[in-house]
Amino acid sequence: MTPVTIPVRMQPVSLLLVMTLAASLAAQNRTDPGQGTPRPAPTPMLLPQHVVLPRGDREMTVDGSLNDWPELPALRLDDNRQLSGTAYNAWIGPRDLRGAVFLMWDQEALWVSCAVTDEWHRALDANTLLVTEIPAADSVVLTFDPNRDTRASGNDPGRSEDREFWLADDPGHQVVQWDRLRGQARVLDAKAGRMVVTHDKEHGITNYEARIPWSEILAPGQVANAGRVVDFQIVVNDFDESTDPMPQTRIGATFGCNTVVDPGLLGSLMLVADASALQGAVPMFPPKPSAPGKPTPTPEEAQAMIEGLLQYPPAIYTGQGAPAECGGVKRTAVLEQIDSHHARMPRVDFLEFLQRVHRRMNREVAGIQARGLPRFWRQRLESVSKQAEDPVPAGALRLFRLPTGGWLCRYATGAFMVDPAGADVHEMLLGGAGFCVLTQPLDMTRRSDQLLIRMYSAEPPRHVFTHIAFHLPVIPMDVMPLVEPGKSYGTPLGCNVHAMGSKRADGKVTYSCSYRIDVPGGPTLALVGPNLVPGDFESTAIDVAIVSPRNPELPAILQKLAPQLVVIDEVFTCQSHPTTVRVALKDVFAIQQALVTTPSLVLAPGESWTVTAKTPK
């Protein structure tokens, strides 16, 4: 197969994207060791525009062997600029991850083959092919945009007809089609779509071969013919850790086209009638059409929400009137708008955004944060970072609701974090992580791996309270300290952390762990997870409780704890589990009504509230 390069000009980069990437650009422009001059930033690659030749009358069999394929132009995935996720030696050279993609077409289907160099191949566990979750296996992801109008990830109107296909080493040879926008997935009919993956362990080469019907790729009414242009993205995911559910390294067709990885920047494929398109005359690709709309929230909508939160601050619901009226109907209108944007965020996009954050894929994170809801999260985190510098009075505890989930808790002489999640937490709020409490450590949407790595690696290490071990890069699970339910632990900051509950008779622990935290000279905080039951703890009065609205025993628990204030957790979050319904704002209002005898509070992303102790300690 002979590689052919078709040069094209890259579209100009938006100013917003460049501004979002300031930190990433600084990292790219670091100084060479032993020299006084900065290393020049790499030149962006050209946006790929690729011609696809017809199959003709050639007989083809999808069997994982590429011997029956003709010479074709190659889409090369072998440039360092196309890599994402090289931290912690996740990528050690070309033998670790690179590839070449070849395409053919006929009236019925698109034929795809991809040869990937990978020293260690992770196949899909035969028992774990679930079309509801992102599978943990080396894979090739093919994205097609028939209308060529996708401009971003998230809730982008241009994605309505997009199609995405997942290829991996599955014994059933099944092609999975993802519908990210709607949160759905399915396996293609075996008679129409077929995929085979083979791995040559001796040479470290994995071959992917697939036949995907045009009826699955193109929008209704569209047909495959010479001259048809479709936008595309091709990404190879590399899993090099057997216990890690997230890819450590990725390489993508357009990843080198900018200093950031813009999820709305797709290449283009043109179906051609014959090989004459390769004889020195490059066909002209038509310009991309205008987008049908902007990803939401737009910058203007995000700014309006931020201004609304400043104008209509939070208020405690004490049982007077309806919870939706607490703080005023104008505040409720702002909260409803924020909630609706979280409800519309595609689940898979949300999960993959956090995966990129966890595995330090900074260029992808920066590209995603340039638009939509992730941009709003970034703005609110900047606000928290600034407000957290304000002093906290003695005897008080200030709670900050982190934009992507979790809490920063500050008191007069220190600070700690609870279930911190999202991008840039490890950079903006590391100073507030005197210690960290994880109530549901296996849920990767409720933690920041980059923050935890820094805490475990600090000198001396900072305390991380978790009752279950989980995978972290460079931190072995067998040396991760674990708390035991029912025991108390001191911290260098003077706080006492008590793990509420008890071990079961078989030695197992529940998925979540609740905690009581005694702040020196300040309030006592209870973290009530979804699994806590009244029998797990002794009656004790606390000052404030952050509670999971998913706990069915919540009224009885609060009666036993008798807090002066309840703060509702898990609101303004995205759908993260396929079978668990997200907590909507209306659900929280119903819970507040049910807990009418206990004062309760709802904080929006980036908001804070200060609690004082009943009796200063």
DSSP 64: S
φ and ψ at 376, to 5 degrees? -60, -45
Residue 276 tokens read as: 């004459």
Please give the Cα distance from 103 to 60 (Å, whole number): 13
Best mean pLDDT range from 16-30, 131-145, 249-263: 249-263
Q: Does position 616 have pLDDT exceeding 80, yes or no?
A: no
Mean pLDDT over the full length of the chain: 89
Please give the Cα distance from 114 to 482 (Å, whole number): 43
Residue 294 tokens read as: 């902007």
The 3 state secondary structure assigned to 126-176 is CCCCCCCCCCCCCEEEEEEECCCCCCCCCCCHHHCCCEEEEEECCCCCCCE
Q: What is the pLDDT of residues 176-201, one digit of tens each?
A: 888 877 777 788 887 788 999 999 99
Report whether 440 contacts 512 (CB < 8 A). yes
Please give the Cα distance from 333 to 239 (Å, whole number): 44
| Residue 232 pLDDT | 98
Distances (CA, A) of 33 to 36, 39, 224, 557: 8, 10, 53, 58
| Residue 527 pLDDT | 98
Q: What is the pLDDT of residues 499-549, one digit of tens each?
A: 998 777 787 899 999 999 999 999 999 999 999 999 999 888 899 999 999
Distances (CA, A) of 302 to 143, 229, 351: 28, 35, 21
592 CB burial (10 A radius; 0-12, 13-18, 19+) = buried
| Residue 308 pLDDT | 98
| Residue 129 pLDDT | 53
Q: Does position 379 have pLDDT exceeding 70, yes or no?
A: yes
Angle 329-344/585-594 helices, nearest 10 degrees? 130
Q: Does position 26 have pLDDT exceeding 50, yes or no?
A: no
State the pLDDT confidence band at 6, using cuts at 50, 70 and 90.
very low
- Strand, coil or helix: what is 200? strand
Give ∠ CA 86-24-446 in degrees, rounded to 5. Answer: 70
The mean pLDDT of 111-133, rounded to a whole number, is 81
State the pLDDT confidence band at 130, using cuts at 50, 70 and 90.
low
Q: What is the CATH architecture of 47-278?
A: Sandwich (2.60)
- Listed as own residue / partner, the contacts of 218-226 with beta carbons closer than 8 Å and 24 or more positions apart are 218/146, 219/146, 219/147, 219/161, 222/146, 223/107, 224/105, 224/106, 224/107, 224/108, 224/110, 224/271, 225/271, 226/54, 226/271, 226/272, 226/273
Lowest mean pLDDT among 25-39, 51-65, 443-457: 25-39
Residue carrying the six token digits 């362990």:
201
| Residue 126 pLDDT | 63
Give ∠ CA 565-568-572 in degrees, rounded to 5. Answer: 145
| Residue 127 pLDDT | 58
Please give the Cα distance from 586 to 591 (Å, whole number): 9
Whole-structure pTM value = 0.91
Q: Does position 254 have pLDDT exceeding 80, yes or no?
A: yes
| Domain coordinates in residue numbering, the chain | 47-278, 299-344+388-572+583-612
State the pLDDT confidence band at 16, using cuts at 50, 70 and 90.
very low
Q: What is the DSSP string of 100-129?
A: EEEEEE-SSEEEEEEEEE-SS--PPPTT--
Cα first-last separation, the chain: 75
Please give the Cα distance from 99 to 121 (Å, whole number): 14
The mean pLDDT of 344-350, rounded to a whole number, is 93
Q: What is the CATH architecture of 299-344+388-572+583-612?
A: 4-Layer Sandwich (3.60)
φ and ψ at 427, to 5 degrees? -95, -45
- Strand, coil or helix: what is 357? helix
Lowest mean pLDDT among 270-284, 340-354, 361-375, 596-610: 270-284
Lowest mean pLDDT among 4-13, 64-73, 414-423, 603-612: 4-13
Q: What is the pLDDT of residues 413-468, one digit of tens each?
A: 999 999 999 999 999 999 999 999 999 999 999 999 999 999 999 999 999 999 99
